[in-house]
Amino acid sequence: MSFPALRQPNIIVQEKSKKIENEIQNVIVSLKNNKNLVVSSDAYHGILMGRNMFRCVFCRAEMELEFKFKDAHVNSQKHKKVLENYPHTEEHGENLIRKVDKISYYCTLCNVIVSNPFLIRHIGSEVHSQELQKAVTRALIYEPAK
């Protein structure tokens, strides 16, 4: 038996779920040869997710593990300025490598830091090629239908 809405006994308390939501946002990276790659926004911005915090590789900043702090950081002028100093290197092309400092690189496709001696091996690795393939495929999906 159903009651009209207003007369319904007020027993059911809706519990708000504390789900952590991380809406995955993507960034399209256009290469010089007109090839497009699509990577997640976090990966593009060098945001690593640790066990209890987010870390920005390029600003060397740490944030509490809350998406709103991360989003605020990524959208900040400071971060945008800093990121401009770390462009994807031309020599590594579609592999989307940013040079962090003398001894380390950041792979945007894999969202990892790779130390200098292992960069070539990383680019040739199975994991990396799979990520590259995924980024290419995502770009195809993103392309407007003709």
Binding interface with Zn ion (CB under 5 A): 56, 59, 79, 107, 109-110, 128
Contact of 20 with 35, CB cutoff 8 Å: no
| Residue 49 CB, nearest approach to Zn ion (Å) | 14
Which CB, 37 or 56, lies closer to Zn ion? Answer: 56
At 114, is the secondary structure helix, strand, or coil? Answer: strand
Paired tokens of 33: 């040869």
| Residue 145 CB, nearest approach to Zn ion (Å) | 30
Q: What is the dihedral of CA 106, 94, 38, 120, to 10 degrees?
A: -40
Nearest residue to 135 (alpha-carbon basis) of 45, 19, 31, 60: 31
| Residue 11 CB, nearest approach to Zn ion (Å) | 48
Which CB, 98 or 128, lies closer to Zn ion? Answer: 128
Which CB, 18 or 76, lies closer to Zn ion? Answer: 76
